[in-house]
Each structure stands twice: as C-alpha cells, then as structure tokens.
Amino acid sequence: MHSRIAGTGRYLPSRVVTNAELAERVATSDEWIRTRTGIAQRHIAADDEQTSDLALAAARQALAAASMAPADVDLIIVATTTPDMIFPSTACILQDKLGVHGGAAFDVQAVCSGFVYALAIADKMVASGTARNALVVGAEIYSRILDWNDRGTCVLFGDGAGAVVLVPAAEPGILSAHLHADGHYRGILCVPGQLRNGTIAGSPFVHMDGQGVFKFAVRVLAEVANEALSANRMTGSDIDWLIPHQANLRIMDATAKKLGIPLEKVIATVDAHANTSAASIPLALDVAVRDGRIRAGQHLMLLGVGGGFTWGSVLLRW
Ligand code: UT7
C-alpha cells in the first residue's frame, strides 16, 4: 500500500501588506527586500482570525478538490509554530470546526519543515492502513510573533495556510520521505520566550542569525534532496518541479543550481506570500496544481528547512 495526494487547497488572509508599506514603519526599502529576498508582499491575518480559521479554509478547499467530506478523514495533522493556543492542538480545534470527531488529530512542531514532517508521518499512517484518509495542513500566523520594529525579521514573513488530502493508493504517490534535525543549531532561529506563571519570560518574537540560517539552509536542502534522489535512483533531471520552502529566492536558486535543476522548474511563491513557515510548501503546491503546471505522472521534490534546526524532503509522483 502507498499513499497519494488527492486534493490541495489554500487560504491567504485578505489584507496584503506591500514592501512600501513596511518602509513607512522601519528603515528598509522595496528595493532592499526584493533584491535580498525576492519578496514583494505578504498577507496578514485579521485580528479575529486564528490559525485554525486559516487551516479550515484551506482544508475545505483541499477536501472539495478531492471530492471528499470532512467525515471521510480519520487523521488530521496540522503543522504549525503559531498554534491558536498552547493546548488543545490546532488540529483538534480544526477537527471541531470541520464538524467531525473521533479520528486522530495532532499538531507537528518542526517550524518551516513542519509540512514535510507532517506529510511524511501521514504517508506512513495511510500506507500502513493505520489511517484511511488524512488531512495534512500547514497553517501559520507569523505576524503575531514578529517584532514589527526589527527590520531584520519583520520584512520576511507572512500568514497563510495550505492543505492536502492524502488517500491510499496501489501505486505511489509518495515515493520517499527523509527527515533530519540538529538541535545544536537551535539558537540561530528561535522564539525564545516562555510562558511562566502568567507572564512571558524572555522574548516572544522571532530571533534570527540571517546569514547563519542562509548558509545552513542552502547546504542541507541540497544534501537532503540528493539523499532522496539517490534513494530513488534518480538525478536532478528526473525532477519536473522543485518545491522548496519559500523563505528567500536566493536560497531557492542556490539549491536548484547545486542540484542541476533549471530555475524554470522551481515553483516560487515567495514574492507574493513571503515566508509562511509550515504553510509555504503546501501554498506553493496548490498554486502550481491550480494553475495547471503540475500534471499527472510528474515528479515533485518538496524540500523543507527551518528552526530546530530541522530539514527534510518528500519525493512524489503526481
Ligand atoms: O525559514 C527560514 C527563515 N529565515 C531565512 O530563510 C532567512 C535566511 N537569511 C536571509 O534570507 C538573509 O540573510 C536576509 C534576507 C535575512 C538578510 O540578507 P543578507 O544579504 O544576509 O543581509 P545581511 O544580514 O548581511 O545584512 C546586510 C545589511 C546590514 O547592514 P550593514 O551592517 O551592512 O550596514 C543589515 O543591517 O542590510 C541591513 N538590513 C536591512 N536593510 C534594509 C537588514 N535587514 C534590512 C532591511 N532593510 N529589512
């Protein structure tokens, strides 16, 4: 038994914030942000929107694309670093908002690699028959953990959600998943604050060593992609679409070059969405599915990297 993706969906909050708008708030410019990152704008959630609301809208679209109802799903995994609350999990809240109950539901916390981690887990559960059909969502509201006075981080992130429905299949589907982490690097990208006895101890905002993250990301993305290629006896030329984590166009370009994959085969949405952490890969996937670039039989390489540090790949046949 194998698993395959039967439908995708996405949701982006309606408010769009341009680089020019940010330049009114901090010492930055549209030109700096575009040339250093490829980002032109980001979507920001409304005050009354929660991560589970973004996840719900994306999930409904993915279910509709798969011609399935919420009751057909018996596993919900939400990859998020910005949950509605400490507990219950955003997956349990999403399950309730979908109007179903009884199936397994839990969150995965692997920061920007979260969707790849969640998809890898769901694949194993569906392929083994532990779950029948799975809903896998990446959903984030990073705008609430950013210091909007720190130009080094606030220009980089956005809010959004992407979702897929995973179903059993006689043929793969998902060909391989490779996951890694190295906690030694936990300090170069983190939100170090803790809730302690009713107050926040430490900073509740994203802290990042940008250049450290950049170098680490380019190295491990190429490594894990090569690991997947050799496990499947493939080369870069067998990949129809590279869908890397959408943090910085320069990281994506450098990774594609290392793999010998032409830039035309890289799905890039970072210009319109910015870095939406665990949501970035399913958002990019849904965009390319719906605009017709991704077609049956093609090979897709999903690559995640993020705080932890965590990284991983999912290689699949569409
Ligand atoms: O999901 C993973 C999350 N994070 C990432 O993927 C981020 C990875 N890192 C990066 O994308 C890049 O390192 C950044 C885009 C964050 C920064 O680009 P960089 O080319 O590495 O710039 P830098 O950190 O070396 O900074 C260059 C200059 C500095 O000024 P000085 O010291 O040369 O005077 C910064 O203070 O750019 C300055 N700077 C800015 N200037 C205008 C930093 N942020 C900004 C800004 N606008 N927003």
Instruction: Measure the CA–CA gap between 62 and 278, rounded to whole angstroms.
Output: 16
> Average pLDDT in the 188-215 region?
96
Domain boundaries, the chain: 2-170, 175-317
Neighbouring residues of 100: CB distance < 8 A, sequence distance ≥ 6: 70, 71, 73
Instruction: Measure the CA–CA gap between 271 and 38, rounded to whole angstroms.
Output: 5
State pLDDT tens for residues 239-277. 999 999 999 999 999 999 999 999 999 999 999 999 999
**Domain 175-317 CATH class label:** alpha beta
Is ligand 1 within 6 A of the CB of residue 214?
A: yes
Instruction: Measure the CA–CA gap between 238 and 243, rounded to whole angstroms.
Output: 14
Is ligand 1 within 6 A of the CB of residue 32?
A: yes
Q: Which residue among the candidates 43, 207, 245, 273 is catalytic per the annotation?
A: 245
> Average pLDDT in the 211-236 region?
97
Q: How confident is the model at residue 70 (pLDDT cuts 50, 70, 90)?
A: very high
Peptide bond into 157 cis (omega under 30): no
Q: What is each CA distance from 18 to 91, 101, 146, 155, 245, in whole angstroms?
A: 31, 40, 16, 9, 21
Do you know the residue count of the chain?
Answer: 318
Is ligand 1 within 6 A of the CB of residue 36?
A: yes
Q: Catalogue the E-assigned strands of 12-158.
A: 15-18, 41-44, 75-79, 104-108, 134-141
Neighbouring residues of 141: CB distance < 8 A, sequence distance ≥ 6: 45, 49, 50, 51, 54, 82, 159
Is ligand 1 within 6 A of the CB of residue 213?
A: yes
Is ligand 1 within 6 A of the CB of residue 210?
A: yes
Please name the residue whose Cα sits nearest to atom 39 of ligand 1.
152
- Tell me if residue 133 is catalytic: no
State pLDDT tens for residues 121-162. 999 999 999 999 999 999 999 999 999 999 999 999 999 999
Residues paired with 107 in a beta bridge: 78
Please name the residue whose Cα sits nearest to atom 29 of ligand 1.
152
**Strand bridging mode 241-244 / 299-306:** parallel
Q: How confident is the model at residue 230 (pLDDT cuts 50, 70, 90)?
A: very high
Do 2-170 and 175-317 have matching folds?
A: yes
> Average pLDDT in the 282-294 region?
98
Q: What is each CA distance from 159 to 111, 232, 283, 289, in whole angstroms?
A: 14, 34, 11, 20
Please name the residue whose Cα sits nearest to atom 12 of ligand 1.
210
Q: How confident is the model at residue 62 (pLDDT cuts 50, 70, 90)?
A: very high
Please name the residue whose Cα sits nearest to atom 7 of ligand 1.
210
Indicate the CATH number for domain 2-170: 3.40.47.10
Which helix (H) or strand (E) segment is 148 a member of? Answer: none
> Average pLDDT in the 164-184 region?
97
Neighbouring residues of 168: CB distance < 8 A, sequence distance ≥ 6: 1, 2, 3, 126, 127, 129, 132, 133
- Ligand 1 pocket test, pick from 80, 150, 207, 211 with the greatest ligand atom count within 8 Å of Cβ, gives 211
Please name the residue whose Cα sits nearest to atom 38 of ligand 1.
152
- Tell me if residue 149 is catalytic: no
Instruction: Measure the CA–CA gap between 181 and 191, rounded to whole angstroms.
Output: 17
State pLDDT tens for residues 31-54. 999 999 999 999 999 999 999 999
Instruction: Measure the CA–CA gap between 106 and 92, rounded to whole angstroms.
Output: 7
Q: Is 199 helix (H, G, I), strand (E, B) or coil?
A: strand
Is ligand 1 within 6 A of the CB of residue 211?
A: yes
Q: Closest ligand 1 atom to the C-alpha of 247?
A: 6
The angle, 0 to 180 degrees and rounded to 10, between the axes of the packed helices 249-259 and 210-231 is: 30
- Tell me if residue 245 is catalytic: yes
Half-sphere exposure of 271 (CA within 13 A, CB side): 7
Q: What are phi and psi of 185, to 5 degrees?
A: -95, 20
Q: Which residue among the candidates 19, 43, 92, 112 is catalytic per the annotation?
A: 112
